[in-house]
Structure formats: structure tokens, C-alpha cells
Amino acid sequence: MSDRNELALIDWIRLKAKHAVGLQVGIGDDAAVWQVGGKSLLLTTDMLMENVDFLLSEAPASLIGRKAMAVNLSDIAAMAGKPLVALVAVALPKGCGFEFARELHEGMQAIAEEFDVTIIGGDTNAWDQPLVVTVTLLGEASERGAVTRSGAKPGDWLFVTGPLGGSIRGKHMSFKPRIREAIELQKSVNLHAMIDVSDGLSADLHHILDESGVGATLVTDSIPITEAAKQMGDSRSPLEHALSDGEDFELLFSCSPDDGRKLLSGVCTVPVHLVGEINAEKAARLQWPDGTITSLARFGWEHSF
Amino acid sequence: MSDRNELALIDWIRLKAKHAVGLQVGIGDDAAVWQVGGKSLLLTTDMLMENVDFLLSEAPASLIGRKAMAVNLSDIAAMAGKPLVALVAVALPKGCGFEFARELHEGMQAIAEEFDVTIIGGDTNAWDQPLVVTVTLLGEASERGAVTRSGAKPGDWLFVTGPLGGSIRGKHMSFKPRIREAIELQKSVNLHAMIDVSDGLSADLHHILDESGVGATLVTDSIPITEAAKQMGDSRSPLEHALSDGEDFELLFSCSPDDGRKLLSGVCTVPVHLVGEINAEKAARLQWPDGTITSLARFGWEHSF
């Protein structure tokens, strides 16, 4: 199935989804927002697959477990929420042994504890196929509410919390979910829209634009680029890597210019990089140093099947 | 890993699990019970794997989707809860096509709707390996509270909600989660302990005995046996199939003899079968028609890796 077909499938699932009692945000954001007993719960699930999301030959079991939990933590961060409890389902390759399974769970436990998350349930399976780990994470929105993908407004400034690109060289396994950064940002300013950069800056920006019904211009020489992206040494430029590589798990968000100025003047300790602005016209664009404007394609990483 | 090692792993995970705020029941029951905003939420997750839990050659995509949701519904039934919302993560085999993916989701949607469950989130992936589906289901406990595995008392009568054995001949894909039955039973009597028969009557009885710190005697000729079990025609007797086959997804529960008599006299419309009783002595036994008592091993189906 092509990327286009995958988006069509998600659209179809979304269309079929009925409105649950208390459901404030359903399929199509980093986490669902479900009002229960006066609380706004955030719910997200992510499945990691061997040879797609990690290589057994490159990552120890503990780091695989860590990533399985961390990608979910990043989804809660993208809503500026606080993570609370998790459920874990694993399909272990037969013969992987007790120590491997224990280290996988230790990796999950360690980062869960770092963010005060308790693993409250699970399902342990074995099969003669590669490792699969699914984590489902529940959190709660802050008192200011969940930050969705749909609140970007024309004129908003666009920020990222760190340099992008080349995560395949290591950061995709060891990144730090921006839970504390998101909470601090939301305390300091009024965040209009937010997403974690998992599919790539361009693809994730497109998600915000689609949900908010707006466009945006990124300024090429203000996009922070990792050393890893600069050292890739392949046919793509560091900027292309920063725009299209996935799994940096930095936050991409928009806020008013006034709030943007506050952030740049150091109103909170979270490092932020101004990368562009939101436009009323529904198009994604790049602005180059010489003033040229080009179109920005949705070429971030997407699954194909 | 052996069955023994798998149980050791689950014990280890359970030991490591910290106590979350509001967590009433953690790892080791059919679902976790988590108190949030005055509600008792039930949370469970189950992963289904191709060639382990279903065969693509035998089951259409819609039936696979149905089963992935139904096994989770059965876990909520085992707590006498009401299911509410679900999250779905899938790893689709590359090349399976859009129609297959759509039918898989339609199967989940259909049974979800049947039980008023809304799918509120998901994660769609593709890889060049067999199909994996993980469903996480949230429900809420009734006003009388969740029925756990740990409340069985010496003298309790043991019941099942239907005949057992031979589910591999079809019932393991098409079984009906006993959601409504559990709710009606709990309204009618005081259920002490309950579990769904997923690993097999013997194994699941052992789970109740372990958690309740009691023993039990099953009366062999009162165990209801399916026609499928009688027609297996292999080296194992129909009774052995009824005791050790998994995935019948009937409920196994205990209550006081007084409440048991009420159920047998038809206080509610749920069909129940009296199969034995709970003993103070921590042993599992079978009582044969001639009065002989033998030991009942934990030989239900368990994963090995």
C-alpha cells in the first residue's frame, strides 16, 4: 500500500469513528482527549517493530524497551500533558531468552519511572517472528487543556525545541521525550498548536496545517540542524535531512508573535528555535536566504504497505 | 523460554511495578482497576499474532479484527465491567492491500459498536512480516465494583457460563464476549471471584486459586463439554479438552452457596453450570463419578519462548 493509501485508510477509520461520550479529540492528533469523571485523559498507543523501528544487532534490549515507552511519552508531550499509567504488549521471538525479556522490560520501567509513569498492565506473548512491542500510555491534560494540532492561526510564529535530522545515527533510540519542556512552555505562553516531530519536520508541519486549515512558511536558514544530519554524507543536503528525517521527537509548535517574543527573551528555560510562521493561504513554503520562495512538499517519512 | 520462565517474567514485572496513584488492581488480573476522577476505570491490552492466534488462510480479515477486539471485551467482562473506548495498533504485512486493512478495521468496528465501544485512537504500520494487532480497551467498573480473581472463599460454588473445549474448531474466532452476562450476574448475586476462560479451565482456575489463596475441587461429570471437544477425535478425551483447551472465553466465577442456589433457580437469565467448589486447602483437585479424587494439574495453554 502506498503512503497515499495509508492516509486514505486513516481517513476511513476516522470517518467510521463514532463520537464517544466525553470524547473531545479523537483520531487525528498525537493523543485522544477523553473527558472522564471531570478529568481530561490523554490516550495514545504506538507499536514498534523489529527491523523497522529498531535493529536487534544495533540496540540492546533495554534501549528498545526505552524507545517503546519514549515514543508514547513524546505523544503526551505533544499535547502538553502529564503521563500517568501505561500498558505494555509484547511478542517476543521464541528463543530470545529470559534475560532479553527482562532487559526489555527494565528499559521500559526505567524511563517510565523517570516520568512518574506506572506500568499497570500487559500481555506477554512469544512467536517465531521478529520482536513487536506495543505501549499504550494514558496521561492527563494540564489545567490549561490539551494542545492539539488544530489551533494554529495565521500570523503565528513557528518554533522547534531542538535541532533536526539524522536521528538514524542514534537519536531515534536515545531521544528525550519533551514532557517537561512542553509543560513549562504551556505555563509560560499560550500554545496554539503542537506536534512532536516523528514523521519529519515537513510531514509533521503538514499535519498541523491540515488540522488547522492554514499554511506556513519555513525560513531555511533558521532551521536548526543536528551534527548528525551534517555528517550523513549522502546525496541529500543537511537541510533536506532536517526537513524530512523522522524520529527527532522535538516539539514543533505555534504561538502568537507576542508570546514568541517572550520565549525568545527567555521567559522560560526551554531552548526554542524560531523556524517560520503560519499563513492564511493554505500552502507550505520554504523561504531561502536570497528571498526566493519555493513549495514545501509533504516528503516526511510515512509507512507504506 | 519455558512456561515456567514466562510466569517468572510476569512475576518479575509485577514485582517491579510501582503503585500508581489510584491503582486498585494492577498486573495479575484480567484488567487493571484505576481510580480516576471518582470513576473506577478498567484497562486491558491484548496482542494477536498471525499463525499463533489466527491463520490468514482460515479467517477473513473481518473475523481477525473481530477477535482482536473480542478478547479485550472478554477481559472487561471478567471484571463485570462496561467497555467504553479502545485504541488499536496494527502491523500490516506489506502488500496486504487496502481492502484487507479496511476489512480488518470493519471487523473491529462492528463488534465495538455492538458493545457501545468507540475506537478513539490508533497506530497503523506496515512491515514485511506477519500481521499483528494490539487492542487496548478501557471500561468502567459497575457501582458494585470490579470482580477480581482474588475474592474466592472456601465453600464458594464454582460456575461456568457455557460448555468448554475444542474452541480451535471455530469458537476461538467467533465467540461472544460475556459482557452482558457478567453485568446481569453481578446485578443478581454477589460474585466473589471471576476470570474469563482464555488459557483453559484448569489454568484459569489456578489463576483464581493463586490470587485468592485457596484450593478447589471440580466435579468431572458436571463440567459442560462442547460438541467440538467431543468431535476432536485425537488422543485426548473430551474432558481433557474441556479442562485444558484455551479460548472458550466463557466466564468462570465463584459465589456463596446461597447465591449459587439463586442462580440455579433462575434468578437471572444467564445460563450457568455448577462445576465444583472452593476449598480452604490450597490444592486443585478433580472428583470423579466413583468418588475418586485426583490432583488437577495446571496444564492449560501457556506461551513458551
Contact B138 A43 (CB under 8 A): yes
B/e letters for B31-51, b = 16+ CB within 10 Å, e = fewer, are bbbbebeebbbbbbbbbbbbe
In tens, the pLDDT along A142-171 reads 999 999 999 999 999 999 999 999 999 999
Residue B28 touches partner A, C-beta closer than 8 Å: no
Contact B102 A12 (CB under 8 A): yes
Q: CA–CA separation, B39 vs A259, rounded Å?
A: 37
pLDDT at position A302 is 45
Residue A131 touches partner B, C-beta closer than 8 Å: no
- Could you tell me the pLDDT band of residue A1, with boundaries at 50, 70 and 90? low
Task: Decide if pLDDT at B162 tops 80.
Answer: yes
Burial class of B263 by CB neighbour count within 10 A (0 to 12, 13 to 18, 19+): buried
Tell me if the domain spanning A157-295 has CATH number 3.90.650.10.
yes
Q: What CATH number was assigned to the domain covering residues B16-140?
A: 3.30.1330.10
In tens, the pLDDT along B37-76 reads 889 999 999 999 999 999 999 999 999 999 999 999 999 9
**A190 contacts A256 by C-beta, under 8 angstroms:** yes
Residue B41 has its nearest CB partner, among A5, A36, A97, at A36
A104 neighbourhood in chain B, CB within 8 Å: none
Contact B1 A98 (CB under 8 A): yes
Say which CATH class A3-140 falls into: alpha beta
Contact B45 A123 (CB under 8 A): yes
Which residue in A68, A102, A105, A87 sits closest to B20, CA to CA?
A87
Mean pLDDT calculated for residue range A186-197: 98
Q: CA–CA separation, A223 vs B123, rounded Å?
A: 28
Domain extents in chain A: 3-140, 157-295
Q: Is there a shared CATH topology between the A3-140 domain and the A157-295 domain?
A: no
Residue A84 touches partner B, C-beta closer than 8 Å: yes
**A143 contacts A82 by C-beta, under 8 angstroms:** no
A19 neighbourhood in chain B, CB within 8 Å: 118
Grouping H, G, I as helix, E, B as strand and the rest as coil, residue A263 is helix
- Mean pLDDT of all residues belonging to chain B: 93
Task: Decide if pLDDT at A305 tops 50.
Answer: no
Mean pLDDT calculated for residue range A106-110: 96
Mean pLDDT calculated for residue range B294-303: 72
CA distance A143 to chain B (A): 14
Which residue in A228, A200, A32, A50 sits closest to A131, CA to CA?
A50
Kind and range of the H or E run holding A114 = helix A98-114
**B250 contacts B161 by C-beta, under 8 angstroms:** yes
Q: Which residue has the higher pLDDT, A28 or B45?
A: B45
